[in-house]
Structure 1
């Protein structure tokens, strides 16, 4: 959790580390740095004197081990070989894709440089049906590749299941630490979490339902350009329910009036590539509610960051309304009638 002062200090550290990191790359990659996003990690645009652009990712400390980052990059390379457009990492002057940069003043962090991908984030206020169709198709292709891919020895990525999302030691913190929760609200969320856990246990983690996923393929991690949708930011990729990727696509917007239309389009795009069973469709409202409460936990552990502070009391209030609807059997995103 950042105060205004500590956030400024963190951004200053990131800027220094990013400048030091560029020294690890060849002359053609040197250029001006501009912070693009600061959330889990920090991403900076690198613009060379010739106008070429790259993206430098500065990893947050104590989240992923070097072996886990290497596993992410191995999957990206395999996806690229499968003709799926994803970020492509660039090796440093020493031939390594992962660099460690920093000093005694700022600390040392892992960094990765990627080729630039043109595009912009889809606007949730615009007609997103076609974008969600394309996203559904992209997800189906990711899942098909992940099911067929022989992962290299030592492959290591995080696991996203119910305890790791909403348990006492969740990867993104405890949902109970979120702001604006009084005793009644806490009891409501607790009841919802319990029911979600029961239903996800019934759905199970069989290999046809649970495997390697992007895990954070929300609007902010999509780039639209010339009618094409590309997925970026695989930093949270790991092992989870395949259809968690659909729930993640709705992140922060689960209460939006257009969610049913977005769902229909995502499913239409997905089923052009892969088939879903009835049980998969029935579990979608639970996955969507689980993701929303995972974001509630994230809100509590990321106070002070621009994204978290932009949510506010109203977003928490809409989360509680979604919990009430879910418990009444009228969840947003239901695609099969009771």
Structure 2
């Protein structure tokens, strides 16, 4: 629950921000504050895109990228990360490969607006509103996601643009996470996982030829059901905040890693297999996956688990008691069991 004074502060910032886009009158409705504080902006008249004769419609999405104290959000809200996402979205909008949010420039012709608040400069972005309904985590929608990812990967394979502002994939965490002071239960689980985490990192190092053969390019990085919409039978993709230049198989593995974790931690492990198969059937209808690719995906899912541990260990000081309890009672035991399975069978997903 966001405190009243914080909601009022954000509402004031949103009111200041829209002026930079030539919007003088608008209904501003707060939506959420997950990766950024987001607002639905509704204007009386269609918003004309600066420097064009094209209209963005009467509804837009405003995002206030607040500086974050917690480890989890710092990188996502950096100016570099925001610019990376906007560049990718602009390319997708021009290609029309899928429907996705399109950045709107401010009156100065820039896609990122900076607002002064005390000693801080806050980044703000405005996007075209994407109509659609949220989708559930079911096999039918897993197939939709697989098809959408195939289309994005196909486009990324042919895109001809300057990628210097796009982060390049590094399979290893900067350093393998260290034990956390004052967290004995967490540290015990970490010590249990550590030998297998080191093996996974070694296995990933041997995948270079397979990853290259299956293509690299700009990937979404978080294309699960929370970031897909359905409108009149059409799948639409949102939230490219985690996009990066990486192997396409890493994009696939990140989806499976999240589904594997969510279904297991929720006590519904039987739901994973139908999701996996539906996604794979849709994805390889357009892009060939051989046995080596499937083995690589399994190793990359294990890598996703390793990176989740790295993230949890670093973010631990910022977690409240409830989240910490969930980490040590549910997520870390799940990771340990899955890495143990990977060590014994060299697989996590179903080999198709």
Q: TM-score range by the shorter chain?
A: 0.7 to 0.9
Alignment partners' CA distance in 2, 1:232 and 1:159: 21
Compared CA separation, residues 197 and 99, structure 1 to 2 (3 A): same
Is contact 2:84-2:243 (8 Å) kept? no
Q: Deviations over 1:112-153 (max 9, x none)?
A: 1111112343333xxx1121111111111111111111122x
Secondary structure of 1:234 counterpart: coil
Q: Deviations over 1:51-71 (max 9, x none)?
A: 943211222446366455334
Structure number with higher relative contact order (C-alpha < 8 Å, ≥ 6 residues apart): 1
Is contact 1:71-1:155 (8 Å) kept? no
Q: Deviations over 1:52-97 (max 9, x none)?
A: 4321122244636645533432322222232221111112122222
Alignment partners' CA distance in 1, 2:331 and 2:140: 26
In the other structure, the counterpart of 1:82 is 95
- RMSD over aligned CA atoms reads 3.4
In the other structure, the counterpart of 2:344 is 328
Is contact 2:157-2:216 (8 Å) kept? no
Q: Deviations over 1:281-315 (max 9, x none)?
A: 11122212222332333344274489967954323
Alignment partners' CA distance in 1, 2:174 and 2:304: 13
Q: Deviations over 1:249-285 (max 9, x none)?
A: 2454314222222111111111222212321111122
Q: Please tell me whether residue 315 in structure 1 is matched to residue 331 in structure 2.
A: yes
Alignment partners' CA distance in 2, 1:47 and 1:236: 27
Compared CA separation, residues 271 and 207, structure 1 to 2 (3 A): closer
In the other structure, the counterpart of 2:37 is 42
Equivalent in 153, 166, 170 of residue 161 of structure 1: 170
In the other structure, the counterpart of 1:145 is 155
Alignment partners' CA distance in 2, 1:216 and 1:281: 19
Q: Deviations over 1:148-206 (max 9, x none)?
A: 11122x6312233222xx3428xxxx475597854442123222221221221111153
Q: Please tell me whether residue 122 in structure 1 is matched to residue 135 in structure 2.
A: yes
In the other structure, the counterpart of 1:99 is 113
Is contact 2:295-2:347 (8 Å) kept? no
Compared CA separation, residues 139 and 176, structure 1 to 2 (3 A): farther
Q: Please tell me whether residue 216 in structure 1 is matched to residue 222 in structure 2.
A: yes
Alignment partners' CA distance in 2, 1:86 and 1:245: 17
The unaligned stretches of length 5 or more in structure 2 are 46-56, 68-73, 264-268
In the other structure, the counterpart of 1:191 is 195
Compared CA separation, residues 65 and 263, structure 1 to 2 (3 A): same
**Counterpart mapping for 1:138-287 below 5 A:** 138-152=148-162, 155-163=164-172, 166-168=173-175, 174=177, 181-204=185-208, 206=212, 208-250=214-256, 252-255=258-261, 256=263, 257=269, 258-287=271-300
Alignment partners' CA distance in 2, 1:9 and 1:251: 38
